[in-house]
Structure 1
């Protein structure tokens, strides 16, 4: 009898071992297999969150077939207590193993909300935007003027209170150094003062990620270093026979190109016009330089130029002076700098607005006068509408 009992017990034990082994193999396959998530999602891990909470959220959102298996797998690989706070993108079809890796790897957030402080040529703004995981594109949630003239949207305060919100300062091509310093003084997540307004043209327009408490002068230093690198690289690759001898003069030209056109495809042609003029001893005769001589880069003029201003003698009035003005008139972007040192090969000497946002180019004064007449007609038609 006891022999039979022992035999049956052994049999049951063997069966249990096989069943347990099969269960472990099945669980491992589930942990490593492609997940059920049809579209990417953004998973937010609050500071101090436990894996049990996150796994339940993942199961509810259809990212995993079993929160329990995810927890067991994470525990087996010693990652249960390695969750990192933040917002992380979980791609479609991610396995539980991949999801655990995403949530414990750390590093910069890969999705979620950003607050962007935009420094523009005509205005600055604060934008609250959120990454849509399904399209991997940012969706604007709110935008307002930081000067205090507009009410601050509630979503801004909500996102400011979250510890996983990211911050960016975005500088547009063509802003002046004074505009950058002035706008940075209103970026409320930053600290410190800028020692002095940087040299015009020395700041690289770009999007810079910052953290709460970041130093304003340190950000200015980053912008200056970036512009030095861009200018140096472009100057090394410059075309032959340019009408200027130094990278600093190329930077002045780039700033004029930047202010003359907002159409990316035109920069090389605009550059060719000014270079052809310099090569032929013609004056540049460009309005943005005159405007800079009036405003000193401190804001926008906000009106048209007067004839007296076009005739007035300032170091920046290229209707009066020969050659380039003494300094850049704005901070040009990479494309404008590259256009200044590698312009298109044309024989254009003139250009004027064409009504589409771009310009009509001309080789002779007669052609240019025809283009100007067309533009005046467009202006008149628009004024009468």
Structure 2
């Protein structure tokens, strides 16, 4: 009887001592920094099990050499069994930084703290530039390769719609596996919301028949100036011209109409070519936007500055000089564009 008591007591002591020691051992390997000297990405594809994840980490050398990597795998497995993390693994990419431990990584995966990538779609870019940027993004799933613009718009629920202008320039965040269509859909929804809100709060008696014409004007304003404080003035000049029946005579529309033929210069023949976008030839707005306008350009289009100016010319530093009369405009052209070729245009030209 006494012998049985002694054996039981020894077993009890063993358990009491062994469990804390085992916990201390597991904790040590979980908290010890991994052998990572620079930021790394850890992929957790769909269907990945915990054992597969640990095997990948070991195969990529992220758990260290032997026998340390094997001991980390055992510690990770015990941690998984104790916490149930295996049933809560979130698919995605996870960042691993120098000094991070296996526990840090497993907790990120447990919480689903997937890495967020970002892309900035720039104000004034065209739809073609938007698509080109999306096609080269790392981690983005490309689904639109070889799909023409009209089909893209049809997939977005806007068939027979020209895509230009309909996507909001902004910085968008995404995770690995997000599709290019998803980003375009988000940009489209954002731009429609911006335009709807701007149109509801627009100034009275604007020379636009509908929000789309305001979007067209905003795209021209966006392309005409990179100086934020001038957007309202630029819009004011164009609105004045529309009201008087004057041609807009703005180079960015000519360039857009030239398409891939544009090689950095506009010649006299280009200014006379009768394209739907040549505002030196047509009266009024072009048929579609010519770029992706940002929120500020849309605001300027529906809240143009009250001005008597009908002309503006580039100073050469990114800003413009505005003139009320043709005589003032010609003096400004002589002052700022004296060394330019005769057919140089950087602003609306003289009234017809």
Partner of 2:220, secondary structure, is: helix
Structure with the larger strand share: 1
CA RMSD, 1 decimal: 5.2
Q: How does 1:78-89 map to 2 (within 5 A)?
A: 78-80=84-86, 83=89, 86-89=92-95
Q: CA deviation at 1:74?
A: 1.4
Match of 1:42 in 2: 41
Q: Tell me the alpha carbon deviations over residues 32-90 of structure 1, each in whole angstroms, 9 at most, x when there is no partner.
A: 86967787532134675713314534433999x94432321112223346656643224
- TM-score (norm: length of structure 1): 0.60
Q: Which of 264, 287, 290 does residue 330 from structure 1 map onto?
A: 290
Match of 2:208 in 1: 244
Higher relative contact order (CA 8 A, sep 6+): 2
Distance in 1, Cα, partners of 2:223 & 2:7? 88
For this pair of structures, how many residues does the alignment match?
320
- TM-score (norm: length of structure 2): 0.64
Moved more, 197-206 or 327-336: 197-206
Q: 1:232 to 1:10 in 2, by over 3 A?
A: same
Q: Tell me the alpha carbon deviations over residues 171-216 of structure 1, each in whole angstroms, 9 at most, x when there is no partner.
A: xxxxxxxx972997xxxxxxx9x9976236463155697999x798
Partner of 2:141, secondary structure, is: strand
Q: Which of 138, 162, 175 does residue 199 from structure 1 map onto?
A: 162
Q: CA deviation at 1:271?
A: 2.0
Match of 1:355 in 2: 316
Partner of 1:204, secondary structure, is: coil
Structure with the larger helix share: 2
Q: 1:123 to 1:40 in 2, by over 3 A?
A: closer
- Structure 2, unaligned stretches of length 5 or more? 342-352
Q: 1:276 to 1:25 in 2, by over 3 A?
A: farther
Distance in 1, Cα, partners of 2:193 & 2:247? 30
Match of 1:9 in 2: 7
Q: How does 1:291-330 map to 2 (within 5 A)?
A: 291=255, 295=258, 298-302=259-263, 304-307=265-268, 310=271, 316-319=277-280, 322=283, 324-325=284-285, 327-330=287-290
Q: Would you say the 8 A contact 2:30–2:102 is kept in 1?
A: yes
Distance in 2, Cα, partners of 1:263 & 1:42? 40
Partner of 2:63, secondary structure, is: helix
Q: 1:233 to 1:375 in 2, by over 3 A?
A: same
Answering whether residue 109 of structure 2 is matched by residue 110 of structure 1, we say no
Q: Which of 146, 149, 166 does residue 140 from structure 2 map onto?
A: 166
